[in-house]
Structure 1
């Protein structure tokens, strides 16, 4: 998929403009897409009959379009199939910040809010491609080695897509930031880095003899940052798209 060709920055309006601390706001595709591609879990917010909901789900990006999936019986997917306006968010927690007063306690983070109108993917070709990407975007080329999904399994799975109309990223990376006079106080302060790190793979105990871990999973190795593995997988599947 190609990126939006009109500009490399998402249009700005009161809907997506960062209201507080404008210096932390970013609207360029590179920043927004980079943070999206470093995650597989998002939260999708929407309103049904005046009641707000927020649903966590796996998602992936193709160009300026986002996809997510779930059970065909899902209330979220049933309502979003009719052109529901939604806000999709991701967040990366980078550190806990302990300052010299409660007001300045904080966290370093990177977050994205993406706005658009969700629609149910009904075109058979797009849905088939999306169901492959649902696996291969995270684990490149894996679908080709799997049992083919049955017609019932495909029917039971719905895919929703959303073209990103507007988006913004917000980033805090300053660590401890006390008032100047507070640095003279005998109060301990620190920044505690937070990382999501992959553990040692645990092969299924019912593997058949001779079945080895494929080389395509080498990016998911013990001690590696999850976000690095996800970015590399995205690049491998979409060739940098």
Structure 2
């Protein structure tokens, strides 16, 4: 079942391992999707499974995938094959007293569905703006937008955010009761994606300053 606030769940999308970590809440799923940069897109062709890392953008209740108009991957996906779309944000390493209980803190999303070809030029432009904003918020208004020739050379697919779930782990390790007395350090090692110092293009004019959205670049809240 699904409603406006939650994604649909079926046998293939139900969280079975540690279900208390699972959620179908749209707000949580959208937040994870908006913070991530790379998705892994899984599908099967002639009994051969493929998992391809891809950039993406979100616009409302749909995701956009893009590539060359001659991309074999996108040509395959637009045929209506079943797609599994996943993203993961790694938030930390969980260090337990026993090696068995070492883990990771993470936020992940797994979605299921079929992709459709975007044919409208207006929607293609909206999708490319979504890609741009997914990568660098504010860049779309600064850079040259795609021209008609570039639009023709680009294939864009729309993937609905309808079925799937998020899964999240937070907090300290969960050791066996008898192991808490062991004289071994335990806890969490937080991890975070951080940006370095922007590197100038050698052909950049000397009077052009670094945009604030790059000097203050960060992912998430």
TM-score, shorter chain, exceeding 0.5: yes
Q: Tell me, which stretches of 5 or more residues in structure 2 are unaligned? A: none
Runs of at least 4 residues off by over 4 Å: none
What is the rounded CA distance, in whole Å, between the counterparts of 1:109 and 1:86 in structure 2? Answer: 23
Describe how 1:156-167 pairs up with structure 2 within 5 A.
156-167=153-164
Counterpart contact for 1:114–1:166, Cα < 8 Å: yes
Q: Against the structure 1 CA distance between its residues 206 and 16, is the aligned structure 2 distance closer, same or farther, given a 3 Å change threshold? A: same
CA gap 1:211/1:164 in 2 versus in 1, 3 angstroms: same
C-alpha separation in 2, matches of 1:13 and 1:148: 40
Q: Indicate conservation of the 8 Å contact 1:65/1:163, yes or no.
A: yes
Which shows bigger deviation, 38-47 or 135-144? 135-144
> Do the aligned partners of 1:60 and 1:134 also contact (CA within 8 Å) in 2?
yes
Give the aligned partner of residue 146 of structure 2. Answer: 149
Contact 2:105 2:171 in 1 (8 A): yes
Quick check: 1:177 aligned with 2:202? no
Superposition pairs of residues 78-227 of structure 1, within 5 angstroms = 78-215=75-212, 217=213, 221=216, 225-227=218-220
Q: Tell whether the 8 Å contact from 1:32 to 1:167 is kept in structure 2 after alignment.
A: no
Aligned-partner SS, 2:10: coil
CA deviation profile, 1:165-217 (whole Å, cap 9, x unmatched): 212010010221101111122333232111111122222232113222334x2
- Say how many residue pairs are matched: 220
Indicate the SS of the match to 2:36.
Answer: coil
Distance 1:56 1:135 in 2: 17
Q: Is 2:70 the counterpart of 1:73? A: yes
Alpha-carbon distance change, 144 to 186 in structure 1, aligned in 2, over 3 angstroms:
closer
Q: CA RMSD in A?
A: 2.0
Structure 1 residue ranges without an equivalent (≥5) = 229-241
> TM-score under structure 1 normalisation?
0.83
